[in-house]
Amino acid sequence: MRAINRVQRIGAQAIVGTFNTVATAVAEAEASMQSAQERFDRKATTFWVRLRSLPKNHPLRRLRTQSFKRHISPFQKMAAVYHNLPLDRLETIDAFPLSPWEQRAHAIVEEDGRMASKAIETGWALRVATSSSARNEIVGYGIATLLPLSYRGGGSTTTVSTTIGPRTEQNPYTAELAAIARALESLAGRVRHLVVYVFSSNKAAILAIRNPRQQSGQQEIRRIHKAVEVLKSKGNRASLLWLPVGIESELMQVAKAAAKESTRQRKSPRKKPVRAYSTTLRNTLQRVQEKFQALPQGVGYFSKKVDTALPGKHTRQLYDGILWKEASVLAQLRTGMTEIRRGNLSFYLGGKATTDPDDWSPCLDVVRETVKFAIATERLDAQIGQPYGSL
């Protein structure tokens, strides 16, 4: 790790111009770089979660970690570190969700939504609107179905509201896929010779159905394509359309109300679904990030005074807004490599407090003028007679 940290320090020098004597952790924070240890942990965590999502017949999935005193393999070390991760009921991610010769469902995604806005107003077609909701730490979906007047029992809207799981296991994308799959499966056994339009405001879900890949929701995507094939075998024609948020539709409003009903407080799913791979991976990577949200103890005392939110993404915005020469001077001021004989300079040097909101941005005009003044006069305040030092 010592050689890699040396490379990290040189990279920070190339980005913001820090000195060799600056601690590697401080230089990485100023340059908005992930530490080598954090990158290694993220790679190992991603590999382990991906390993647990492989099919059961995969050779790597069937490996059993056996411990030996003479040699501890990397797999054994990873198994010891990640044995507490909640990876039970993790969904299986196959290399190919559908066979190459299987016909894909007809999915339409238009940026202007012109075709979807016309289709949702057609009274002669069977229209279905789906919506997902994620609030109160739970995820659910709602379905609104409107049969045509020419069909028996048509003219009235029926709704379905279902809670699928907690937010730590599911996400609106998987909920949207589950809603579309359930809507099509419910229609496959009871309608014939109709045009079926399924509308969704989740663009990612429609794109995944049109071109499925190695991603979450493969089980629901297979259910959707199977239901579409059943509908086609009975003389129906099914199309899935993305409905932009800006297009107003009474049917979609009913589906959204049903989705919100599924995520009321104290709602719980009837059975435990599989854990979504994307949500599980995001939660595990967030745990890794929380380990590196602060500078190490005893490192960067002056930098912590200037910027209490180090490390953070705001430093990238700070240094990208000024020239490289100004950035190198600012790096010396923020890391204490030049003599500063006054109090907290957080405001003048673009420091961020831990209580500031996420959308906080530094005042680049003040930072730029501070750097220009330091370059021109070698001091931060004209009224302070102490020299600022060599820049």
User: What would the pLDDT profile of 147-194 be if each residue is shown by its tens digit?
Assistant: 988 777 677 899 999 999 999 999 999 999 999 999 999 999 889 999
Pick from 306, 311, 380, 384: nearest CA to 350: 306
What separation in angstroms does the CA of 221 have from each of 15, 145, 253? Answer: 44, 20, 24
Pick from 215, 133, 224: nearest CA to 172: 133
Give pTM, 2 decimals.
Answer: 0.84
Would you state the structure tokens that stand for residue 343, as one six-digit string? 């109090």
Judged by DSSP in three states, 376 sits in helix
Q: Is residue 15 classed exposed, middle or buried when 0-12, 13-18 and 19+ CB atoms within 10 A define those classes?
A: buried
The pLDDT score that the predictor gives to residue 225 is: 96
Helix axes 2-16, 324-335, angle to 10 degrees: 120
Other CB atoms closer than 10 Å to residue 304's CB: what's the count? 16
Pick from 163, 166, 171: nearest CA to 141: 163
Other CB atoms closer than 10 Å to residue 209's CB: what's the count? 26
Residue 303 backbone phi and psi in degrees, to 5: -65, -35
Peptide bond into 212 cis (omega under 30): no
Residues in the chain: 391
Kindly report, residue by residue over 15-36, the tens digit of the pLDDT.
888 888 888 888 888 888 899 9
Kindly report, residue by residue over 35-70, the tens digit of the pLDDT.
999 999 999 999 999 999 999 888 887 776 566 667
CA distance 51 to 17: 40
Spatial neighbors of 266 by CB under 8 A, at least 6 apart, are: none
CA distance 192 to 132: 28
Would you state the structure tokens that stand for residue 236, as one six-digit string? 């129906």
Average pLDDT, the chain: 86
Q: Does the pLDDT of residue 391 top 70, yes or no?
A: no
Reply yes or no on domain 107-274 having CATH 3.40.630.40: no
Q: Does the pLDDT of residue 330 top 60, yes or no?
A: yes
Other CB atoms closer than 10 Å to residue 108's CB: what's the count? 15
The pLDDT score that the predictor gives to residue 387 is: 40
Q: Is residue 275 classed exposed, middle or buried when 0-12, 13-18 and 19+ CB atoms within 10 A define those classes?
A: buried
Spatial neighbors of 385 by CB under 8 A, at least 6 apart, are: none
Rg of the chain on CA atoms, in Å: 28
Q: Does the pLDDT of residue 381 top 70, yes or no?
A: no
CA distance 391 to 10: 19
Do residues 72 and 32 lie in contact, with contact meaning Cβ atoms separated by under 8 Å?
A: no
Residues of the chain with CATH 3.30.420.10: 107-274
Residue 140 backbone phi and psi in degrees, to 5: -150, 180
The owner of tokens 């990030």 is 289
Other CB atoms closer than 10 Å to residue 48's CB: what's the count? 19
Would you state the structure tokens that stand for residue 60, as one six-digit string? 């790597």
Do residues 277 and 90 lie in contact, with contact meaning Cβ atoms separated by under 8 Å?
A: yes
Q: Does the pLDDT of residue 296 top 80, yes or no?
A: yes
Kindly report, residue by residue over 201-241, the tens digit of the pLDDT.
999 999 999 999 999 999 999 999 999 999 999 999 999 99
CA distance 218 to 221: 5
